[in-house]
Amino acid sequence: MGLMVAIHNVTSAQRLVDFAKLTFGFNIDRLVITKIGGTAAQAGIPDVGRIAVKLGKSIMVLPDLKDAIELLSPRKVYLMSPLAEREIDYVDYKDNSLIVFSGIENGFTKIEQSLGEYVNIKGMKGDPGPIAYAGAVLYCTLALQK
C-alpha cells in the first residue's frame, strides 16, 4: 500500500482542501480523513473528492482514527505534532505506514496519542498550524530521504 497520510479531527473545509492539495502534491496516493465535522464534512469532502478524482488519487473517510488503524492495518503509525516532546529527524517510513496529522491546533488527546508513535520533527518549535507543519514533515520525510 505504501505511505498513507491522514488528517484527524478537522472541521474547516478550507483546511481540509489545503491539506489534500498538499498531500497529493507530494504524490501520496491515499488520503485518510478521520473524525470530520462542521463545514469540512459538508463542503470539504465534495471538494476533496473532485480533486482526488482529477489527480487519480483516493480518499477514505472514517469516523475515527481507531477505525483507520483497524481497517488499514499499517505497519507503523506516526502521530505527528509540534506539541510532542519526542523528536525525530524524519519519519523513517516503510511500506504500509500511516502518518497522522491533527486538523486542529490542540493536537491529539492522550487516548489518541496511545494509538501510535507520538512524535515531533526535530527543530520545530512552536505550532505553525496544521498545513505548514504537514508540509515540513512531508518534505523532510519524502524529499530528504531520496
pLDDT, tens digit (0-9, with 9 covering 90-100), for 83-128: 999 998 878 777 789 999 999 888 899 999 999 999 999 988 888 9
User: In terms of DSSP H, where are the helices of 26-117?
Assistant: 38-39, 45-55, 65-72, 110-113
CB 89 within 8 A of CB 49: no
Q: Is 38 left (phi over 0), alpha (psi -120 to 50) or beta?
A: left
pLDDT for the residue numbered 49: 97
Residue range 17-27: mean pLDDT, rounded: 96
Query: Does position 145 have pLDDT exceeding 70, yes or no?
Result: no
Query: Does position 18 have pLDDT exceeding 80, yes or no?
Result: yes
pLDDT tens per residue, range 23-43:
999 999 999 999 999 999 999
pLDDT for the residue numbered 105: 81
Which residues span the domain enclosing 119?
4-143
pLDDT for the residue numbered 42: 95
**Cell triple for 50:** 473532485
- Report the number of distinct structural domains present in the chain: 1
CA distance 8 to 48: 15
pLDDT for the residue numbered 146: 56
Query: Does position 62 have pLDDT exceeding 90, yes or no?
Result: yes
CATH of the domain at 20: 3.40.1280.10
